[in-house]
Amino acid sequence: MSMVIDASQMDPTFADQIAAEPGGEHIRRCFACGTCTASCPVREVTERYNPRRIIRMAVLGLREAVLSSDFVWLCSTCYSCYERCPQDVRITELMHAIKNVAVREGYIHPSFRVQVDLLRQHGRLYDITGFENEKRVEQGLPAIVERAEDFGKIFAATGLDTLVQPEEKGVD
Amino acid sequence: MRYALYLGCTAPVRAMNYELAARHTASRLGIELVDINDFGCCGFPLKSVHHEAALLLSARNLALAEEQGLDICALCSSCTGTLAEANHALQNEELRERVNEELETTTGRRYNGAIRVRHLARVLYEEVGPERIQEAVTVDLSGLRLAAHYGCHYLKPNDVHDGFDDPENPHSLDQLIEALGAASIYYEGREQCCGGGILGADEETALALPHLKLERVVAAGADALVVICPFCDIMYELQQRRIEKLYEARYNLPVVFYPQLLGLAMGLSADKVGLPLNRVKSRKLMEIAR
């Protein structure tokens, strides 16, 4: 990414689009103090993730740079910034909102595509095979029955099914 | 005390030791945990992908517990946080009505906003209480130096947990540990996240977080790291060998779930608290179990 911002790449409606998203409502409250970045445990270990920078980029309208980035997927959702933000920007939820927009525009991190698939098939992140249940019963724990039917129906009704399709295509 | 036991996805597959200890200690302390077979994913992984679908998954579980007239007691902090957050949001009637319309069409269920969501550790702290736990102790743990790891979603966002404990300087787990006679020691970065939320997205970055914590906990001279979330355990225990390899370090730090310690202190056997399933063996804990 070039360090010089090209004004022609700025989309003034981008912040409004995020603000219209559940969790993104408070984006324009940010006064860029950096408490989020100072509190961030991921920022402590890598410079690739910087919440203040992401919010600033979004407010400036750098739509493609934000949505196609891999850094928006690096929020560990610890809510440290959420608790400390003096402007109540609710940054963890704001990051969720940005990722929701990214998914709708065709950018989903492959690991989340895998998780959607697991939920669609099993209703759980770890599938329960005979092996797992055997181990559970051996320990005196009750066997678990997978109930995935409701998940398929919920994914179809919300449009998640068409948005994130089972087969590997359009991955960025 | 009667609760719907919310196992989540991770604990029943990757942390059976936690589940075993939770069930046995709860029953000893008079907490009845009811299994609900239809429970599924809490919605956490979908929050990043599709807000509405995530909310529906949460509402579905809340409705299942409500049908039984039970509050939820969850083992996983992320499940607790996700369900509590959804429950908080669904107290808004307008939103609840909209969600219910869709929930009814897809699953035939409705949620009336009538239940509470609690983490097991919060139930132990608030409803049993450190005093009663102290009274139940029959085995002395006073030689142990333990490092409490609160994790994130147990307390944060704090407004969805009704302001329980203090997210900046928490004390509930320390008090629960001290009720057993053990010392809860201070270490740098106590509040730091395990990194589990990004393990799938970027393994190397994710593992840098538990690396820091392992360094700091070992430097503080802890006998074990105490966790209350199966995903934190994955990061500190299941990934520990990998982290040691990546950073050319050796920690050999036992990681235990609080209910395992509680059970040992109450005189339960090593098997009952799932101690043989812990990957990093603790000589001290095995001696206590004998």
Instruction: Using an 8 Å CB-CB cutoff, list chain B residues near A42.
Output: 193, 195, 198, 205, 209
The third-level CATH classification (topology) of the domain covering B130-289 is Rossmann fold (3.40.50)
What residues of chain B, 128 to 147, have a C-beta less than 8 Å from chain A?
Answer: none
Tokens of B227: 């966790």
List the single best residue of A79, A82, A138, A164 to mutate versus B (max B Cβ within 10 A). Answer: A79
Tokens of A33: 């103090």
Number of helices (H), then strands (E), belonging to chain B: the values are 13, 8
Distances in Å between the alpha carbon of B168 and those of A86, B63, B150, B217?
A: 15, 32, 11, 19
Give dist(CA B270, CA A32) in Å, integer.
Answer: 52
CATH class of the domain defined by B2-119: mainly alpha
Residue of A nearest to B213 (CA): A41
Over its length of 172 residues, how does chain A's per-residue pLDDT go in tens digits?
A: 568 988 998 999 999 999 999 999 999 999 999 999 999 999 999 999 999 999 999 999 999 999 999 999 999 999 999 999 999 999 999 999 999 999 999 999 999 999 999 999 999 999 999 999 999 999 999 999 999 999 999 999 999 999 998 765 444 4
* DSSP 8-class letter at B119: E
In this prediction the ipTM stands at: 0.96
Distances in Å between the alpha carbon of B21 and those of B153, B205, B262?
A: 21, 32, 8
Nearest to A136 among B10, B16, B208 (CB): B16
CATH class of the domain defined by A7-104: mainly alpha
Segments making up each domain of chain A, as ranges:
7-104, 110-163
pTM of this prediction? Answer: 0.97
Segments making up each domain of chain B, as ranges:
2-119, 130-289
Q: How many residues does chain A have?
A: 172
